[in-house]
């Protein structure tokens, strides 16, 4: 009798994690990825798990929910986080990676798995059998339509934007300087300071700059990845409390700048830098003009301009259960940002959780829910139980956790939340319930 296999559609962070976890459990996988033959507007590489919006995978601190989630994934044997740790580049308290090295090494790891068959093709329909759909927020039109048929309704969407990348040797370091905010970690961020007069002149040009017209859909901007020109239109001071916040970036014995633009290393060789928080849908000529008005970037060369793209996600509480299964068709699982989690690391967690329960389903075992006290479990509970009429993508945050039994100070709460989450995951691992009935 031929052993069952799972079709995983999409080799982004959720898809490769799901494929790897299934293969680890002796289950054959057909991993379908279209990038070699057809790329989305925001992708450039042929490799898997391409990071688009930012090179940062978020905080690695256990005082941060995203940092706790990464530690949960390390305990659970995540291949994505393992590779990220191997190719990390200095970025203060954040886990940032060499994007190209990350994709190359993760692609090689997945292609070397004997139980994973790679199929370079576009999936235009949902196949029979066991399926995990992890096509991500940049789902192709054909798969978008297939999901509409599956769910019986339109999938939701918002628009997302990626920040420009600048070549290091084109930055004027006589005006810019290295420093991490509040001197946390190594001074690996490049800072371009602006006086009030410089900022006011720049702002006046920014708010009248030309943007790419949104096509196909009404523009819906997700707050977690707001284009900087959209922020600017909310008020002259808005950017000063967001990506251009000068607090903690003072140079010794000098007055605080009115505004500061930060750039973060984008590769291990430190030849490319991402403009932090400057995701945009300005036209390319306008990006060149506006960004070269920033002190230190007058002669900037752009390795990549910012791009705008549609991000798709499902109305999770209506369509999915807390195991990431489609309620009406439980042989089909949805993982990654398509499921309604927001963020790279959150996508990894959903891929891992979906794969573990897919493996259990194939073996005839009941599904298991990750504990509510863990970030993985809290996210899954949110997706399944929030109000259907008000659903929006969600990233890891302390507000998802069940309340503590005793009242504690805010900073202590974060520590206790982290300890409780990791203890719950260790308990699952110690009890062996991840891989037994």
Q: What is the pLDDT of residue 217?
A: 42
Q: What is the percent of the chain where pLDDT is above 90?
A: 62
pLDDT tens-digit map of 298-344: 999 998 888 877 778 899 999 999 999 999 999 999 999 999 998 89
| Domain match, 291 and 378 both | no
Q: Is the pLDDT of residue 178 over 80?
A: yes
Which pLDDT belongs to residue 415? Answer: 93
pLDDT at 185: 77
* CATH code of 206's domain: 2.40.30.260
Q: What is the mean pLDDT of the chain?
A: 90
pLDDT band at 393 (very low <50, low <70, confident <90, very high): confident
- Dist. CA 193–CA 69, nearest whole Å: 34
Indicate whether 423 pLDDT > 50.
Answer: yes
CA-wise closest residue to 31 among 116, 131, 156, 140: 116
The answer to whether 4 touches 28, Cβ cutoff 8 Å, is yes
Between 210-214, 271-275, 412-416, the lowest mean confidence (pLDDT) is in 210-214
Between residues 352 and 137, the one the model is more confident about: 352
Tell me which residue range forms the domain holding 193.
Answer: 162-310
Domain tally, the chain: 2
Domain check: are 304 and 414 in the same one? no
**According to the model, what pLDDT value does residue 213 have?**
74
pLDDT at position 292, please? 98
Q: Are residues 45 and 139 in the same domain?
A: yes
Contact 214, 159 (CB under 8 A): yes
The set of residues, in sequence order, having a beta carbon less than 8 Å from that of 350 and lying 6+ positions away, is: 14, 324, 335, 336, 339, 341, 379, 380
Report the pLDDT value the prediction gives residue 294, as an integer from 0 to 100.
98
The number of helices, as runs of H, and strands, as runs of E, in the chain is 12, 17
17 and 32 belong to one structural domain: yes
Same domain? 33 vs 106 = yes
Residues 169 and 47 occupy one common structural domain: no
pTM, to two decimals: 0.76
CATH, residue 323: 3.50.50.60
Q: In this structure, what token pair is assigned to residue 346?
A: 């959150």
Q: Are residues 268 and 319 in the same domain?
A: no
CA-nearest of 76, 60, 99 to 24 is 76
pLDDT of residue 1: 44
411 contacts 108 by C-beta, under 8 angstroms: no
What integer pLDDT is reported at residue 403 of this predicted model?
Answer: 86
Give the pLDDT confidence of 371-381 residue by residue, as tens digits: 999 999 999 99
* pLDDT recorded at residue 161: 72
Where does a domain end: 310, 339, 368? Answer: 310
pLDDT recorded at residue 224 = 64
Q: Last residue of some domain: 249, 284, 310?
A: 310
Per residue in 231-272, pLDDT tens?
999 999 999 999 999 999 998 777 889 999 999 988 777 888
pLDDT surpasses 80 at 177: yes
SS3 (DSSP) at 137? coil
Among 23-32, 102-111, 393-402, where is mean pLDDT lowest? 393-402
Task: Answer whether 374's CB lies under 8 Å from 72's CB.
Answer: yes
Same domain, residue pair 243 and 370: no
pLDDT at position 218 = 41
């Amino acid at each position: 009798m031929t052993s069952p296999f799972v079709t995983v559609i999409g080799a982004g962070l959720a898809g490769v994690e799901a494929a790897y976890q299934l293969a680890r459990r002796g289950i054959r996988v057909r991993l379908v990825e279209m990038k070699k033959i057809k790329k989305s507007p925001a992708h450039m590489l042929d490799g898997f798990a391409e990071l688009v919006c930012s090179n940062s995978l978020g905080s690695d601190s256990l005082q941060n929910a995203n940092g706790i989630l990464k530690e949960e994934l390390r305990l659970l044997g995540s291949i994505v986080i393992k590779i990220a740790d191997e190719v990390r580049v200095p970025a203060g308290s954040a886990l940032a990676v060499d994007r190209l090295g990350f994709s190359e090494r993760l692609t090689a790891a997945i292609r070397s798995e004997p139980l994973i068959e790679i199929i370079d093709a576009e999936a235009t329909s949902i196949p029979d059998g066991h399926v995990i759909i992890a096509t991500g927020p940049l789902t192709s039109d054909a798969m978008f339509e297939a999901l509409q048929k599956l769910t019986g309704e339109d999938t939701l969407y918002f628009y997302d934007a990626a920040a420009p990348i600048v070549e290091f040797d084109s930055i004027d370091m006589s005006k810019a300087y290295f420093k991490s905010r509040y001197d946390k970690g190594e001074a690996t961020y490049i800072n371009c300071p602006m006086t009030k007069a410089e900022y006011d002149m720049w702002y006046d040009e920014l708010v009248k700059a030309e943007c790419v017209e949104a096509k196909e859909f009404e523009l819906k901007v997700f707050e977690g990845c707001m284009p900087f020109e959209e922020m600017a239109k909310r008020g002259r001071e808005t950017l000063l409390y967001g990506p251009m916040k000068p607090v903690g970036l003072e140079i010794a014995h000098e007055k605080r700048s009115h505004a500061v633009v930060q750039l973060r290393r984008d590769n291990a060789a430190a030849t490319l830098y991402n403009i932090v928080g400057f995701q945009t849908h300005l036209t390319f000529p306008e990006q060149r003009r506006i960004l070269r008005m920033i002190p230190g970037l007058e002669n900037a060369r752009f390795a990549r301009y910012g791009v705008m793209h549609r991000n798709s996600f499902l109305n999770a509480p209506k369509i999915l259960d807390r195991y990431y299964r489609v309620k009406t068709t439980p042989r089909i699982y949805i993982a990654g940002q398509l499921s309604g989690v927001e963020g790279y690391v959150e996508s990894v967690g959903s891929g891992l959780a979906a794969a573990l329960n897919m493996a259990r389903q194939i073996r005839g075992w009941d599904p298991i829910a990750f504990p509510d006290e863990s970030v993985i479990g809290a996210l899954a509970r949110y997706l399944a139980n929030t109000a259907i009429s008000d659903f929006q993508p969600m990233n890891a945050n302390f507000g998802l956790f069940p309340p503590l039994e005793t009242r504690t100070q805010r900073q202590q709460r974060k520590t206790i939340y982290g300890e409780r989450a990791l203890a719950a995951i260790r308990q699952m691992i110690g009890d062996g319930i991840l891989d037994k009935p």
